[in-house]
Amino acid sequence: PARYFDTKTTEPISFFLTGLEELLAWQPNSNDDFNVSAVPLAQRQPPLHSRRPRTLVCHDMRGGYLEDRFIQGSATRNPYVFYHWRYIDIFVYFSHHTVTIPPVVWTNAAHRNSVPVLGTFITEWTDGEKLCEAFLAGGEEAYGAVAEQLARIAQHYRFDGWLINIENTLSAAAVGNLPLFLRDLTARVHSAVPGGLVIWYDSVLKDGTLRWQNELNDENRMFFDACDGLFTNYNWKEEQLERTQRLAGPRLNDVYVGVDVFARGDVIGGGFDTDKSLRLIRQYGLSAAIFAPGWVYEHLGKENFLQNENRFWGLLAEYLPTHSICTLPLTTSFSLGMGTSTFLDGKDEESGPWYDLSAQDIQPLYPEHQGTLSTSCCLQDAWCGGSSLQLQGTIPPGEERVAVRLFSLQMPAPPKLFLTLLYKLEGPQPDDFTVALEVTTWDSGICFEGNPTSLPEPNGRYHPRFLPAPPPSLAKLLAACHRGSYGWTSRCYELELQDCSLRDLSLIVSRQQPSLQETSFTCLLGEVRVLDTASLAASPPQVHSVMASQLWWQ
């Protein structure tokens, strides 16, 4: 069927639904299997619902369902990717189709990085009025059926909820039922999807007129009260933030103030001035909804996209609270889910462009320190996948080392950790530097390394012990410890901790010789793993009854 498979290539594709009839007729189908997310939403700290301002990203690009619709990837040159997952809390996939089911590649990439994904339910223009009249004015049975289908769809495809966007006027009967529909949908989504969310877009008012308010007020408050959050329109002024803050009360963080990166209309700042809008929003403790950050790709072009993307998010970073990893194992090759080649164990196995967000790895923080450190993605060389993480920086005169924070962690440390690292030093004098991992712990008087006779480290900084070879029991798994090839160096470490809580994983680049000169370095990271030794020793669960379906031979 054309909905599920590309007519030219027969490859499985992601799809949307159009109109009320298609939504109400939707049933799970065996052709759907490709479209169901295979990656559960990873845990994070602090949890999404903790009381701090959040950041929502609403992805709207040229109508949606572009190359990202190919579930098993495509040979796309210079595709759009998003990878600053540590800095955002919710990802919305937006299009102008009635029911936007997020392409599964996005759900997989976001979930792997602890970010929930919402689809969009939109009605607009005169067709939208008719659609709303049909299901909202029809009473409880009619709107209940729509709520039920939307909750079932999110549950079936394993994404996390809905943005509801009613962009047309409503009759008195329809608007009267709207808060009831939102309450019903929210309750059904919460019960069908753990951690599910329903967010309302600031559009229709309580009397049914379509008038964007750019704030939370008495005209739209009853919709906010009926669901998990409000996403405001983009043309606000500071006094509207002030009024919103007052009215939202304890639900301050559930108001996502809209920021259009394309800066259409009368806005505070978009493009590379988006930080001006965010600074104001955060002054009032409100959450932010960054709309169409694909501006970087669409407006500035594909050629220098990765460079521009790092600049864009780097300018916003101080206003974006990050979330931490709270489960082990942590293992990543930093792949973006795209490449100009495919690498395996450092070898360029296959030249040619590819794009598959499902293959994107866990992404690190991307720290930038003006003039002293930049973190970027390198497509020219990788250990595994399509890219490595490139760290370029300088060690200041008189200093011996520089620390690059890769991941923030928040979890109890197991008694024994194994860490592996694959890296490559580039530049004129690679032998002038050494590279190692550093683990920091949260301050506590009871945290010790190794045995209780050793003293706690100042600032909880631990340098795991270098192992020339892995212990025999782990030799097979940690073959990485002596498998450097194609110019990559591999390192294996062990760290024993007692009563500690992990905080950060950093890379330390040190000079071999002290110097009064500033020294520049370039280091590629190919892979990092942090493993709990105890869980490695256990044998993996047996796999039973494997089924292969939907085979198509060509």
Check whether 452 has a pLDDT greater than 50. Answer: no
Superfamily of domain 57-64+79-321: Glycosidases (3.20.20.80)
Give the confidence band of 23 by pLDDT, cuts at 50, 70, 90: very high
Average pLDDT rounded to a whole number, residues 428-453: 79
pLDDT tens across 56-107, in order? 999 999 999 999 999 999 999 999 999 999 999 999 999 999 999 999 999 9
Tokens of 420: 């592996």
Q: Distance between CA atoms of 325 and 426, rounded to whole angstroms? A: 29
Q: Which long-range contacts (CB under 8 A, 24 or more apart) does 81-85 make?
A: 81/336, 81/337, 81/338, 81/355, 81/357, 81/360, 82/57, 82/109, 82/293, 83/309, 83/336, 83/360, 83/363, 83/377, 84/309, 84/313, 84/363, 84/366, 85/109, 85/110, 85/113, 85/114, 85/115, 85/363
Partnered with residue 70 across adjacent β-strands are: 13
pLDDT tens across 289-326, in order? 999 999 999 999 999 999 999 999 999 999 999 999 99
pLDDT tens across 101-115, in order? 999 999 999 999 999
Tokens of 233: 């329109």
Looking at domain 330-537, which of 3.40.50.300, 3.40.50.410, 2.60.120.330, 2.60.120.260 is its CATH number?
2.60.120.260
Check whether 1 has a pLDDT greater than 90. Answer: no
Check whether 127 has a pLDDT greater than 90. Answer: yes
pLDDT tens across 140-199, in order? 999 999 999 999 999 999 999 999 999 999 999 999 999 999 999 999 999 999 999 999
pLDDT tens across 463-503, in order? 888 877 666 666 666 665 556 688 999 888 999 998 899 99
Check whether 35 has a pLDDT greater than 90. Answer: yes
User: Which of the 8 DSSP states describes residue 28?
Assistant: -
Counting residues of the chain whose pLDDT is more than 90, the rounded percentage is 79
Q: Are 197 and 159 in contact (CB under 8 A)?
A: no
Average pLDDT of the chain to the nearest whole number: 93
Average pLDDT rounded to a whole number, residues 333-351: 96
- The domain spans of the chain are 57-64+79-321, 330-537
pTM: 0.95
